Amino acid sequence: MIYFSLRSGGLKLIYFDNAATTAPDKAVISEAEDFLQNCFANPSSVHSLGYEAEMRLEKARKKVAAALGADPKQLFFTSGGTEANNTAVLGAAEAKKRRGKRVITQVTEHPSVADAFNELEKRGFEVIRVNVDKKGRVCEQELLSAVNEETTLVSVMNINNEFGTIQPVNELAEKVKKINPETIFHSDCVQAFGKHPINIKNLDLVTVSAHKIHALKGVGALYVKKGTLIKPLHFGGGQEGAFRPGTENTVGIVAFGAATELAAKQMQENFQKVTSVKNELLKITQMLDNVWINGDQEGSPYILNLGFEGVKGEVLVHALEDREIYCSTGSACSSRVKEKKKLADLLVDGTGSSALRIGIGKDNTEQQARQLTEALCEIVPMLRKYRPR
């Protein structure tokens, strides 16, 4: 159970930004502390302490791989989801560029994927960016129509980090491969891992991250299906099958394994709890006028993106912060990049600046949801009253 101390004024912190990061679980912290105190050696060292560190690293690898239904030998740890996505997109495209230079993605990818495709475009690749519908779902026919004999890579995220829209990536991969069996299919599954079942049968590359499931920051993993060629981005000691050389963040990896094991055991229970919290939050659409849902209401219960007419999302975030309630306007990875077009603009024309992303976690409660909706019912009318005309 995650716990928070009381803050100034006697208010207890309410954290609804779990799509950005999660608080480390108490059991995960204990696992990390034990490792730091008793097994701090370099896992590449040949002495017994190094061997023990290596064994704990490999045990964690098996736990993460098991949650994906993957062979542990095909799972490689990285410094996070961003590096895993960069490695997947750039590494796969570069490895297969002699076969073709057409690569395909969708317009609502995480910046670590979108910017990697921008880089490929600078390198002379033909980048196709497929549109999404009003719920954030990729236009399947447009995607499949873009696949030809020159297509070497397709990347579609499993669950959108802004709206929670769920994409049927395994089924999409199967359809892509019927057109061109040589096409590599990558999926960013960061928001799905540990929360939703993931079918990797037809996927060649899968990205996951530790800090989204109550582990530590600085660790991610990339699943690489056997036989899939990847050109590494880094060079050095040969760790992680030379996909990601350099001394491993062993304590972070061990914590990742512990969090994964816990998430797998609690997945169904957590899903039901989070769904109940989301249903409580959805009552705001009846409590306030001119409030809408951005994205797909039937998407992941872990993410709820709301729009409020006449209210700037950033102003609303800070007003909630004054009450020790923490949400966001969108992805923390792009929130400081002002020139980026907000994804909400793609879904609700002209209202992207009013978006509030609520990231629901396993430790949020229905009571906290009621506190958030009550706060919104007080704050939103006040902000509308004093908005510039």
- pLDDT value of residue 204: 99
Any bridge partners for residue 102, and if so which?
A: 126, 151
Is residue 182 classed exposed, middle or buried when 0-12, 13-18 and 19+ CB atoms within 10 A define those classes?
exposed
- pLDDT value of residue 386: 81
> Hey, what amino acid is at 185?
F
- pLDDT value of residue 341: 52
Distance CA 48, CA 50 (A): 5
Interval 303-359: pLDDT, tens: 999 999 999 999 999 999 999 999 999 655 554 444 345 465 555 545 567 899 999
High-pLDDT (> 70) share of the chain, %: 91
Residue 10 has pLDDT above 50, yes or no: no
Q: Can you tell me the mean pLDDT for 188-192? A: 99
- pLDDT value of residue 6: 41
What are residue 62's phi and psi, to 5 degrees? -65, -40
The mean pLDDT value of the chain amounts to 92
- pLDDT value of residue 344: 56
| CATH top class, domain 8-25+267-385 | alpha beta
Q: How many CB atoms are closer than 10 A to CB 199?
A: 14
Confidence at 203, pLDDT banded by 50, 70, 90: very high
Residue 111 has pLDDT above 50, yes or no: yes
Residue 8 has pLDDT above 90, yes or no: no
- pLDDT value of residue 335: 47
pTM of the model: 0.93
Q: Return the structure tokens found at 345.
A: 């603009």
Catalytic residue among 139, 189, 327, 333: 333
- pLDDT value of residue 223: 99
CB contact at 8 A, 308 and 293: no
Q: Can you tell me the mean pLDDT for 254-276? A: 98
Interval 118-168: pLDDT, tens: 999 999 999 999 999 989 999 999 999 999 999 999 999 999 999 999 999
CB contact at 8 A, 305 and 388: no
For the segment(s) 26-262, the CATH number from 2.60.120.10, 3.30.70.1450, 3.30.1160.10, 3.40.640.10 is 3.40.640.10
Residue 1 has pLDDT above 60, yes or no: no
- pLDDT value of residue 345: 58
- pLDDT value of residue 346: 58
Q: Can you tell me the mean pLDDT for 79-105? A: 98
Residue limits of CATH 3.90.1150.10 in the chain = 8-25+267-385
What are residue 221's phi and psi, to 5 degrees? -150, 150
Place of tokens 């899939």: 228
Phi-psi region of 60 (alpha: psi -120 to 50; beta: other; left: phi over 0): alpha
Q: Return the structure tokens found at 217.
A: 């920051």
Q: Can you tell me the mean pLDDT for 93-115? A: 97
Q: Which of 190, 124, 196, 122 is nearest to 155 (CA)?
A: 190
CB contact at 8 A, 37 and 378: no
- pLDDT value of residue 22: 98
Residue 139 appears among annotated catalytic residues: no
Distance CA 57, CA 60 (A): 5
Residue limits of CATH 3.40.640.10 in the chain = 26-262
How would you label 15-41 residue by residue, b for 16+ Cβ within 10 Å and e otherwise?
Answer: bbbbbbbbbbbeebbebbeebeeebee
Distance CA 231, CA 43 (A): 24
Q: Return the structure tokens found at 163.
A: 């709206």
Residues in the chain: 389
